[in-house]
Amino acid sequence: MAQPLMPHATASWLVETTALTFQQIAEFCGLHILEVQAIADDTAATKLTGRDPLRSGELTQEEIDRGQADPNYRLKLQREPDKAVRTKGPRYTPVSKRQDKPDGVAWLIRNHPELSDGAIGKLIGTTRSTIQAIRERSHWNIANIQPKDPVTLGLTSQRELDAAVAKAAKQAGIEAAPQDPRIQQDREALIEELRAEREAAHRVAEVALTAEQQLWGVGDPADAAPANEDSAER
C-alpha cells in the first residue's frame, strides 16, 4: 500500500492539526499505532517537524473531514509521492554505513584485483584517492581497516557486484570459473541472516529506549537527582 513520502513527519502533522484517530493516522502513514502514540506523547527519540500532506497533494481537506466524521473511515492517498530518480554521480551511502566503506574497499581489493579503482568507486560510493590510499596502505586509519564483504555491509547488492566483476574479468580476458550454486545459496542465506540479526538488534534497542522513557518520563533520569537531594536536605 502506498504511503506518504515522510510518514513520521506526516503523522506528527496529523496528530497536531486534526481530530483523526491514532488508528486512522497509523494506517494512512503505514506506521504501528504505538509509533503514532509515541509521537503524540512526545516520547519519540527526536522531536519531529510536521509535514503538511495538504501542501504536498497527498491528502485533501475533504478527505480529512470524512475521516474526522467517521472514525472507521480509512484515508486514501490522493497522489503518490514522486519517486526518486537515480542520477549520475557518487552513490549515496547512509551516514551510519559510511564508516564501513574502507572495509568494503579493502575486501574488493583483496578478493577482486581485476576491479579498477573506478569500478570500486561506483560500487562503494567513494573516491579514487581513498581507494588508492587503501591500496598503498597509506590511509590514515589503515590499522583499523578490516576487509569485509560490501554486500554483507549493505554498501552494494550482490547483483551489482557480480555484474562489475564479470565486466572487469571480460575486459581483462579472465575466464570466469563455474560457481557451485550451493555456494551462492549459502552466501545469500548468510546475508539474510546477518540482516535479520541487525534488524532484530535495532528493534530491541528501540523497545528498550521506549521502556526507559516510559519509566523515567520525558525528562532525562539524571535530572531527577538534584531534586531528590534538595528534598532530602529539607
Q: What is the 3-state secondary structure (H, E, C) of 169-217?
A: HHHHCCCCCCCCHHHHHHHHHHHHHHHHHHHHHHHHHHHHHHHHHHHHC
Measure the CA angle with vertex 37, ends 36 and 41; round to 5°. 120
pLDDT value of residue 48: 65
pLDDT score recorded for residue 223: 46
Q: State the pTM of this model.
A: 0.41
Q: Could you tell me the CA-to-CA distances from 42 to 38, 50, 53, 202 in Å, in that order?
A: 6, 13, 20, 20
Judged by DSSP in three states, 95 sits in helix
For 58, which DSSP code?
A: S
Which pLDDT value is given to residue 62? 92
What is the pLDDT, as a whole number, of residue 202? 74
Grid cell digits, residue 101: 566503506
59 within 8 A of 75, measured Cβ to Cβ:
yes
Per-residue pLDDT for the chain (234 aa), expressed as one digit of tens each? 577 888 888 888 999 899 999 999 999 998 898 888 888 886 554 566 788 888 888 889 999 999 999 999 999 888 765 554 555 555 555 555 678 899 999 999 999 999 999 999 999 888 999 999 999 999 998 999 999 988 888 888 888 888 898 888 888 776 555 555 555 666 677 777 777 777 777 777 787 777 777 777 654 444 444 444 444 444
What is the pLDDT at residue 224? 44
